[in-house]
Structures are given as C-alpha cells and as structure tokens.
Amino acid sequence: MLVLSNEAIAGLISMRDCLEALEPMYRDLAAGRALLSPRVDNISPSAHPGAYYAFKHMGGTWPARGIQALRINSDVLTHPLVDGKPRRVKAPLAGGRWVGLVLLFSTETGALLAMFPDGVAQRLRVGATNGIALKHLAREDAKTLALVGSGWQAGAQLMAALAVRPFTRVQVYSPRAQRRDAFIAEARAAHPQVQIVAADSAERCVQGADVIMAATSSLVRVIEPAWLEPGVHVSCIKAQEVDQAVLDGCERVFVHARQQAKQIDHILPGTPNVSAEHGWWNAPGNRFDTYPDVGMLVTGTAPGRQRAGEITAFVNSVGLGLQFAAVGALILDKARAAGVGEQLPDDWFSEDVHP
C-alpha cells in the first residue's frame, strides 16, 4: 500500500494532467459507466466556542480505471464574518494542521492501493472541473479574467483558466488587501506572461471581464446579477456564491452533477452554531433540476456556448468523490512510474478473518 504526501503529489501532476483525467470520467458518468457515492456531512457539537464538528465523506467507482475512491474529512468548523459576510472556515486544531484523506481501492481485488492527504488533489480537481466548463462555455476570444477570491482555491481557478484560454489580463479582488497582494505576487511569479492586477472592489474587478470566476469561502452571494454583460461566462466553486437571481440572468447554466444538488447534512439535534443549509438550490420554485450538468456538457448531450453574446454560467454545486477516483488513478500511475512514496505492508490493511 502506497502512502503519498501533498508535496509528492504537487510534484507529480499538473493542472493540465487533471483536465485530461477528469473529462473521460465525466463522459463515463454521463453514460452510466461510473458510480457516485454522495457527499454526506455528519455534524455534531464541538467544545470550541462558536464551532461545530463535521465529518465529511464521499466516494466514487470508476471501472475503466479499476478504482474505488473514498475521500474523508474530519473538521472543526466556524462561520466568522469577513467584510460583513459569513465564511465557512476550518480550524487547524489537529496540532496546527487539518485532517483530510483519500483512499484508493482496487475494484479487481478489493485491496487498499494508496492513501494520501486530500489537499493538493482536491484543489486541482476543483480547478480542473471549473476549467472544463470554461473551455466549453467561455468565448474563444476571452482575454480578461475577473477573479473574486485570493485563497488556496483561487490559485487553482487561475491555473485552470489559463490552461484552457489565452487570458492576457487577470483582475483580482478579495476583501483582505494583504492576502490579495500576496496572492497577486505569487501569481505574477507563476504566470509572468499575464498582466495580473489588484482591484479595490468587486465591482471594479469585474469591469470589462470576459469571464468572472468566484473562488471564496463565502456563505452568501458574491456574484451580482448586474455584472452579467452580454458574452460573459461566470463560474463559482460553491452554490452559495450565486443565487437564482444570478442564474436567471444567464441564458445557459450548467451544474456539477444533477444527481446531487448539495451535500446531505446529518445534524445531531441540539448542535449549536449550525443549521441545515438553505439556498436557491432547495428554495421553493428553484430550477436546479432543469439545469444540465458537466457530464452532459462534455458529451455534447447539452450543447455549450452557441453565440458570442450568450451569458453562460457554471455552478460547481457540490464535490464528487468520483473526481478522486480519476485524479487518484493518475496520481497512482505517476507515483509508481517515478518510484515516489512510501510502501507499507499490504497485510496491515487487510485481514484473515472473514468480516
């Protein structure tokens, strides 16, 4: 059984690798040749003031690669206000670190093949998913990107956008200037061919943009209906960053997976600081079920952009464990070829007692 670190994974795969790994998986999902295990969050009280405990799990089976993936997270969560808006923030209370793991199993033998932290893989698969949608929905001549957010996920959104369109200018806004400036400095070093500039408001960030990408931890809308100019493509990494008013202003909308709008929340009664998530996706009269998903987009079952002036949107509404089967299979292949990682005895993770 192979154990890998985030650092090892970052050295093994690129954003382009992830884009290439995910598209065939989405085609198989659309064709009924892959399985989802839905995301479920078990939520209970935490001893920390203003916090609650959440155990998240999701999975997926991809027979084409002979892989079953399981992704789990054990988190203490808080909802602080940032610039007057509530955010979903994970507290690093496990010795100053976070706990998230991916396990890969063989569908041929049942054996546990690999285990690694989810951080780098989950960042890349979120970026790649939005990048796939952008490839099919943004105008071919898109040159200016507006990026709302400057955290860990925003960097992956930028990588994916640049992998599928030749953007020449990127405008970045987030409410904390110090973080925004640090993000821009890092982005300029990584992408010196692109003009990357700061905006001091979200409204200025989106001015003249061909594509608007939100990548925040906000629990409320960060994309405004008034920003929807003809020809623009908008995307987000969580459903809360948009609402029905935004989507009603778009002519062509895709969601991540029609099988699941959002995670299933199992909340222990009496748990403080948390309530079941409510939003446009489960409000009366919502249109979630009418939107095609990314599998339909890549197979052409639902067409992408049809006109230059069309306003399009992609909502990365919930993460899929199946993404980790696709990206995980790629990581496993590359790690084996490079001789990277630590091998542990297989019999540590199997048993000779019939379960």
HEC per residue, 204-268:
HHHCCCCEEEECCCECCCCCCHHHCCCCCEEEECCHHHCCHHHHHCCCEEEECCCCCCCCEEEEC
120: enclosing H helix or E strand: helix 119-137
Same domain, 281 and 338: no
Backbone angles phi and psi of 107, in degrees to 5: -80, -5
Q: Quick one: tokens of 243?
A: 């609402």
The tokens describing 261, both together, are: 């709008």
pLDDT band at 306; cut points 50, 70, 90: very high
Check whether residue 305 and residue 332 sit in a common domain.
no
Give DSSP secondary structure letters for 46-109: -SSTTEEEEEEEEEEEEGGGTEEEEEEEEEEEE--EETTEEB-EEE-TTTSS-EEEEEEEETTT
What tokens does 136 get?
């099919």
pLDDT value of position 4: 98
Q: Are residues 174 and 261 in the same domain?
A: yes
The answer to whether residue 345 scores a pLDDT higher than 80 is: yes
Domain that holds residue 205: 122-315
pLDDT in tens, 151-206: 999 999 999 999 999 999 999 999 999 999 999 999 999 999 999 999 999 999 99
Least confident of 51-55, 118-122, 285-289: 285-289
The answer to whether residue 276 is domain-embedded is yes
Place of tokens 């954003």: 15
SS3 2: strand
pLDDT tens per residue across span 199-245: 999 999 999 999 999 999 998 999 999 999 999 999 999 999 999 99
From its phi and psi, is residue 299 left (phi > 0), alpha (psi between -120 and 50) or beta? alpha
On the CB side of 165, how many CA atoms lie within 13 Å of its CA? 27
User: Which pLDDT score, from 0 to 100, does residue 126 have?
Assistant: 98
Q: Do residues 41 and 171 share a domain?
A: no
- We report the CATH number of the domain holding residue 47 as 3.30.1780.10
> pLDDT digit string (tens) for 25-84?
999 999 999 999 999 999 999 999 999 999 999 999 999 999 999 999 999 999 998 888
Number of domains in the chain: 2
Are 313 and 254 spatial neighbours (Cβ–Cβ below 8 Å)?
A: yes
Confidence (pTM): 0.95
Question: For position 283, what pLDDT does the model report?
Answer: 86
- Residue 286 has what pLDDT? 84
H/E element, 110:
none
- Do 145 and 113 have their domain in common? no
How high is the pLDDT of residue 355?
Answer: 85
User: Rounded to a whole number, what is the largest CA-CA distance in the chain?
Assistant: 64
